Amino acid sequence: MRFPAPVTIQWIAELIDAEVVGDDKALATGINEIHKVENGDLVFVDHPKYYDKCLKSEATHIIINSKDVNVPTGKTLLVCEEPFEAYQKIVRYFNPFVAATKSISDSAVIGDGTVIMPNVFIGDNVKIGKDCIIQSNVSIQPNTEIGNRVIIQSGTVIGSDAFYYNTKKNREVWYKKMLSGGNVVIEDDVEIGANCTVDRGVSSETRIGKGTKMDNLVHIGHDVVIGKNCLFAAQVAIAGATTIEDGVILWGQVGVSKTLTIGANAEVFAQSGVGSTLEGGKKYFGSPVEDALTKKKELVFLKRLPEMWEKLRKLG
């Protein structure tokens, strides 16, 4: 999440009641989770297991609950008791929740030729391009950007909260919701079916590339980046921070785990489960997925096992 303008670390420290270790006059340009951090960003870490990963990330400033770490050159620490709560406070400050007072916000920008059907909700700072069709009962949450010639079918929600929680089992409430400060970007010529859900980024963006087509009941998780000209059949579900490259086809009920990549022009057959990164240009099947031809040979072999066993029994 970018800040409207860079702010000093001293200002951030005062906001979250943190001690600065390093240059308190350094500037922070935004705040992001570890998967999306860039130079100038703040990131938070509250478990020793992840200290090293955060300290060696692209983030320039680290909100942390310990000073007993080796600080790389050029990094600044903001030390506080509850880094997660500090993150929440920063997001609330720069991206506060504002209750809607009307179905279509006065701040929404809607391009020429775009049709908005009855009972559509369009939140603050939404931008919709030209010649789009937004069917009834669609909900487009604040800060969403939609390109030209986009079709969104009835009942779909764009920009819903991320399913993302800070987990600690030493407190009464184990799972605390991590506020979503990101948005959704839908490029030109995308079609999204009925009753789909596209979560906004936690601190960055969820992006759907130009020309991608989605069937009904598809779920896209937070911070997912989908390339151009992809095709997703019904009930596909993609978990957070995953990258789907150009031209990928996912057939019905394919499930894709988090933070992995499916390479360009890969095709995954129906009801498969993708648990790790896949090379592009190949066909896959199964759960966990394998090369489709190999998997089919295995299934043929399994079907023949009773026959083979019977032959062996007679020989024995």
Which are the catalytic amino acids? 222
Q: What is the spatial order of strands in the sheet that 267-268 belongs to? A: 115-116, 133-134, 151-152, 191-192, 213-214, 231-232, 249-250, 267-268, 283-285, 290-291
- B/e letters for 261-293, b = 16+ CB within 10 Å, e = fewer, are bbbbbbbbbeebebeeebeeeeebbbeebeebe
Residues paired with 62 in a beta bridge:
43, 77
Check: CB of residue 104 under 8 Å from CB of residue 118.
no
Using CA atoms, how far apart are residues 60 and 86, in angstroms rounded to an integer? Answer: 16
The residue among 200, 205, 208 whose CA lies nearest residue 164 is: 200
- Greatest alpha-carbon pair distance for the chain in Å reads 84
Q: How far apart are CA 59 and CA 15, in angstroms?
A: 19
